[in-house]
Each structure stands twice: as C-alpha cells, then as structure tokens.
Structure 1
Amino acid sequence: MKILLDTSDVQAIKRIAATFPVWGVTTNPAIVATGRVQLFDLLPAIRDALGGKGTLFAQVISSSVEGMITDAQKLYERVDNLVVKVPVTPKGLQVIKELSAQNIPTLATAVYGSAQGLLGILAGAKYVSPYVSRIDAQGGNGPEVVSELQSLLSMHAPESELIAASFKSPRQALECMLIGCKGITLSPEVFDLFLADPAVAIAVTQFEEKWKGAFSTDCL
C-alpha cells in the first residue's frame, strides 16, 4: 500500500514524513500556484522534506502537444525520481505515447471515468489517478470508478498502478482501499483526520494516569 501526500506545503510534508513512511508527493499546477513557490525551487525542497527519498509527481503546464513534451523533458531531466503527470485528453494521450517512447514515466491524471483512465494506461502511462470526490461531486460514484478501473487494469495492464486521488475524508479513502486500491494520495488535512478521533487522546491519557497512580513514574 502506497500513501502519498498531495500538497506543496513543505512543512506539512516534513512533519508527516517524520512519523510515517510517505511513499511520495504529488503536485498539480493549482497546488503549486497556491504555495507561490516556483516549481523548480519547490521540488528540491519537497525532496529534502522526504529525507532525500520518495517519488515526486509534477504536472505539465503547456496546453500544446509540443509544449507538454518540452515541459516533461525539462522536469525529468532536472528532478531525480520524478513522474510526469499528463491529463488524459486527446492531446494528452499523444504526449503520453511519445513520452513512453522516450522512457519518461508518466501518470495519467484528470481522470473522471474508468474507460478514460484505461486509455491513459494503454497509451503508455505507468500510473493513473481517478479523482474520487470530484467524480462524486458531479453525481457519479468515485469508488465505483476506482473499482472498474482496477478491474480493467488487472485484465489489460497488470504492470500499471492505480493511485486514487481527490479525497475529502478518510472514509472515502478507506472505501478505495477496501476495493483493493494499492495507492492513494491525500492532502495533509485528510491524512491528519485518520488520527483525529478524540477518543484516542482520552484513552492514552487514561493509560498514563493509571500507570502513574500505581507506580509514581511515567516510564518503565
């Protein structure tokens, strides 16, 4: 199971990576723009926050085929262990196909349907990311799309990997894990909610109080 963070917040990445083995970090143009740090300054900072490890994902910016290919080449040449994110559009499929021929790894992104995601993989992408909560917001069923896409990949492209994205709650992410999804990317806010149940803190406090009451010490 691969857990990735979806953010440009370097301090949040550093905080979470200090306590949990984060597999990688995903970004997109909107996330990078929110942080207002240039991408080629941001990516090394993210790498440092991960302790020099992990896989980074960054998206092309250009809207033309030639421009997206150039963006991808620049990203891949300048950042170690990077996967280029390409939207699954007619132009994007052409870009994924060409980058695959150049041995540049890609993630098929902006996926709202299982057939669309499969096309991205068949064009040459190694990874694919369906947008779970965005699909739900449009009246669809995000986990169902993940399930369908997972089945399609198992039958037609077993070497590829599905990394579900766009979660608003831990429950959404758990539903995809239960389906068998091997990778998810979470915002730091949703990651923190996995540990936010107040009952946990209460239970830990009770353990400490009982121990101190019996042994007058807070350690072994």
Structure 2
Amino acid sequence: MSVYLDTSDIAQIKMLSDLLPIAGVTTNPTIVAKSGLKMVNLLPQIREALDSDGLIFGQVISTHADEIVDEALKLNQMVDNFIVKIPVNMQGVKAIKRLKNEGVATLGTAIYTSQQAIFAALAGASFVAPYINRIDTLTGNAIETVESIAHLLSYHAQSCKIIGASFKNTKQVIECLSVRQSSVTIPVELAHKMMENPCVNDAINKFHQDWVDCYGSLSH
C-alpha cells in the first residue's frame, strides 16, 4: 500500500512529503496546465521537492500509438524513477505493449472498467488507475470495480498494481485502500483533511492541561 500526491504544487509536495510517508507524485495534463510550466521544467522541480526518490508519474497527450511511444520515450528521459501514464483505449494499449518491450514503465489511466484494466496489465502496464469518483458518478459501484480489478490481477497479472485516482472525499480513499494491494493518489486538499481533525488537537490540549495542573509546566 502506498499513498501518492496528485498535484503539481511544488510547495505542497515539499511540505507534505516531509510530514507524511508519500510514495511519489502523480500528474496529468490538467494538473500540469495549472502549474503553468512545461513538463521539462516541472518534472525536475517535483523531483527536487520530493523528500525521497519516490516515483513521479506524467501523462502523454498524444493519441496515436506511434506518437504516444515517441512522447513517452522523451518524457522518460526527464527525471529518474519516472512512470508514463497512458489512457487505456486501443491505441493506448498498443503503446503500452511497445513501451514494455522498450523497458519503459507505464501506468494505464482513465480506467472505468475491469476489462480496461486487465488489457492494460496484460499489455505490460506496471500500474492501473481506476477513476473512483467518476465511476461512482456513472455507476455507483467504484469499489466493486476496484475489487474486480484486484481479483483479475491476482490471477493474471500479479506484477501490475492498482493506484486509485479521482477522489472527492476521504471515505472513497479509505474504501479503496481497503481493497487488497491497492494504493491511492490523492489531491492535496484530501491529504490535509485525512490528517487534520480538531478532536486530536482537543485531546492534545487536554493532556497538556492535565500535565500542567499536576507539574506546573510542560517539562519532565
């Protein structure tokens, strides 16, 4: 199980990777566009901001297999420990197959169904990313889809791992992590929500007050 940050916010990556056990950073064209930077400039900044040698994921914008492969090979040279994200359709699966032969690690993204996931995995993808909230919006059964994907991978492609994406609330995140061998990538806002609980601060304040009442100060 791993937790990734789904963001291009360098300041947040630096802060949260220092505070939390973050395995890496995922991006997509929308996230990159929000940064205002080109990939060649953004990816090295993400690498520098990470408090580890964690994985960095970046997505192609090409749509034909030949162009996807060419773009993926260029992206793969920009930083180390890089995973190329490829939307899973016919052309995407073809590109994943070819990149597997080139030794380039890939993640099959824009996963809405278990059949997409298994084709991506069999083609050689190292990861698949089901879109949790979008599946819930369409069918209401995102976690069932993740469970189905996990079941299929356990039989047919054990080296391929699930990274749930597209979350809107912490409940979805925890439900996804409850599926065996699933990881998640979450936006910065959810990372904060998962750890910021006023009840915890209330408990800490009560401990401090009880200590001070007995010993006079917060010292041993």
Q: TM-score, normalised to structure 1's length?
A: 0.96
In structure 2, what is the equivalent of residue 65 of structure 1? 65
Count of residues paired in the alignment = 220
In structure 2, what is the equivalent of residue 146 of structure 1? 146
8 Å CA contact 2:47–2:79 kept in 1: the answer is no
8 Å CA contact 1:118–1:153 kept in 2: the answer is yes
Q: What secondary structure is seen at the aligned counterpart in 2 of 1:159?
A: coil
Q: Give the drift of 1:40.
A: 1.3
Aligned equivalents of 2:182, 2:67: Cα separation in 1: 32
Q: Give the drift of 1:219.
A: 3.0
8 Å CA contact 1:165–1:185 kept in 2: the answer is yes
Q: Share of identical aligned residues, percent? A: 39
Q: Give the drift of 1:155.
A: 0.7
8 Å CA contact 1:164–1:181 kept in 2: the answer is no
In structure 2, what is the equivalent of residue 4 of structure 1? 4
8 Å CA contact 1:163–1:181 kept in 2: the answer is no
Aligned equivalents of 1:54, 1:186: Cα separation in 2: 15
Q: Give the drift of 1:140.
A: 3.4
In structure 2, what is the equivalent of residue 203 of structure 1? 203
In structure 2, what is the equivalent of residue 28 of structure 1? 28
CA RMSD of aligned residues (A): 1.1
Render the CA deviation track for 1:44-87: whole Å, top value 9, x for unaligned: 11111113511100001112222211110001122111000000
In structure 2, what is the equivalent of residue 47 of structure 1? 47
Structure 2 alignment gaps of length 5 or more: none
Q: Give the drift of 1:90.
A: 0.7
Aligned equivalents of 2:53, 2:24: Cα separation in 1: 8
Aligned equivalents of 1:100, 1:137: Cα separation in 2: 33
In structure 2, what is the equivalent of residue 99 of structure 1? 99
Tell me, yes or no, if structure 1 residue 161 matches structure 2 residue 161. Answer: yes
In structure 1, what is the equivalent of residue 175 of structure 2? 175
Q: Give the drift of 1:134.
A: 0.8
In structure 1, what is the equivalent of residue 116 of structure 2? 116
Aligned equivalents of 2:116, 2:39: Cα separation in 1: 28
**Which stretches of structure 1, 4 residues or longer, exceed 4 Å deviation after superposition?**
none
